[in-house]
Amino acid sequence: MATIDVPEQVSVLADAEALRKACKGWGTDEKAIISVLGHRNAVQRKQIRLAYEDLYQEDLIKRLESELSGDFEKAVYRWILDPADRDAVLANVAIKKLSPDHHVIVEISCTRSPEELLAVRRAYQARYKHSLEEDVAAHTKGDTRKLLVSLVSAFRYDGEEINTRVANSEAKILHEAVKDKEFNHEEIIRILSTRSKMQLMATFNRYRDDHGTTITKNLEGDSGDEFLKTLRATIRCLNDPKKYFEKVLRNSIRRVGTDEDALTRVIVTRAEKDLKDIKELYYKRNSVSLDQAVAKDTSGDYKALLLTLLGKED
């Protein structure tokens, strides 16, 4: 379930005006920005941008970029984009790093629906004049590259059908791989990148039933090569995305010096999806609410925006 709190009635014209007012003159009224944008869904945010452009012949995003700075600016920028466009930006940022953030690519390709991933690929092309898979291929190597390119190129069947025979045989294959660490990478990549999510759930369940432990538990504790890490992230995202996101949040906060990129990314991308469930998981796991943890670890306008997206009442 979503966490953002959107009012019953919304006037995008009034919103555009309010944002204009917040940016005009000396200094910026960040609170006003948060109180408008933090309470609007994707459709409304898009309409506000159009209204703003209409009224003031200016791109709202560019204006905000120039007015704001730091983690707050990054968060607002990501929040205000269309979800597909946002994912394209996140993917590009991840790819272009000196040491690419493979897990972000995994996250985007495995936790979005097949149609959403297609939209991301389209948005990526529109922005960067390259295909997503092209850029991933050009910036990664070896088996990690094979896995990531397969994941971003996948267009999984989204039906409910499950083949138990397949679940059985593929659970075996995965178990062999995990146990021996003599991975037949081709087979694993094939299974994880082509099967439907329902089929994969059945396979993971079968794995758990056969071996008394979840596949992700069996993968834990390995530090190790990049492929293994990416593989772990893949299986976690496919197996239980909410749990995966809870872990990302937990790690991002726990670090000495918060990982704002990860924190922003998860909150912004899940606020309209399942952040509420993730919050529950967080509380169960850490005995402190995510709101509290974020409040403790962040400050200023950045903190205010995150808390608003988390559903805190103004």
Pattern 61-100, another protein, x by CB under 8 A = ----------------------------------------
Which runs of E-coded beta strand occur in the chain? none
The 10 Å Cβ neighbour count of residue 5 is 14
Of 28, 150, 214, 258, which lies in the binding site for another protein, with binding defined by CB under 8 A?
A: 150
Taking a C-beta distance cutoff of 8 angstroms, is the pair 290, 279 a contact? yes
Of 54, 157, 179, 225, which lies in the binding site for another protein, with binding defined by CB under 8 A?
A: 157
Of 4, 12, 91, 132, which lies in the binding site for another protein, with binding defined by CB under 8 A?
A: 132
Distance (Å, whole) CA 253 – CA 248: 9
Question: Which window, 73-81, 150-158, 228-236, 280-288, contacts another protein (CB under 8 A)?
Answer: 150-158
Q: Token pair of 217, please?
A: 């538990």
Question: Which window, 29-37, 49-57, 153-161, 289-297, contacts another protein (CB under 8 A)?
Answer: 153-161
Residue number with CB closer to another protein (146 or 175):
146
Q: Please give the residues from 110 up to 129 whose contact with another protein meets the rule CB under 8 A.
A: 118, 121-122, 125, 129
Cα four-point dihedral sign 12, 15, 19, 25? positive
Question: Which window, 69-77, 131-139, 262-270, 277-285, contacts another protein (CB under 8 A)?
Answer: 131-139
Q: Which residue in 150, 148, 111 sits closest to 248, CA to CA?
A: 111
Residue number with CB closer to another protein (6 or 155):
155
* Residue 133 lies near another protein (rule: CB under 8 A): yes
**C-alpha 76 chain-centroid distance:** 15
The 10 Å Cβ neighbour count of residue 193 is 21
Distance (Å, whole) CA 215 – CA 202: 12
- Burial pattern 82-106, b for ≥16 Cβ within 10 A else e, equals ebbbbbbbbbbbbbeeeebbbbbbb
Question: Which window, 148-156, 237-245, 247-255, 270-278, contacts another protein (CB under 8 A)?
Answer: 148-156
Q: Token pair of 312, please?
A: 């805190």
* Residue 20 lies near another protein (rule: CB under 8 A): no
φ/ψ (deg, to 5) at 225 = -75, 165
Distance (Å, whole) CA 85 – CA 269: 11
Q: 172: buried, middle or exposed (CB in 10 Å: 19+, 13-18, 0-12)?
A: middle
CB of 235 to another protein, least distance (A): 18
Residue number with CB closer to another protein (109 or 308):
109
* Residue 139 lies near another protein (rule: CB under 8 A): no
Question: Which window, 50-58, 82-90, 156-164, 210-218, contacts another protein (CB under 8 A)?
Answer: 156-164
CB of 125 to another protein, least distance (A): 5
CB of 237 to another protein, least distance (A): 18
Q: Which residues bind another protein (CB under 8 A)?
A: 118, 121-122, 125, 129-134, 137, 145-146, 149-150, 153-159, 161, 190, 193-196
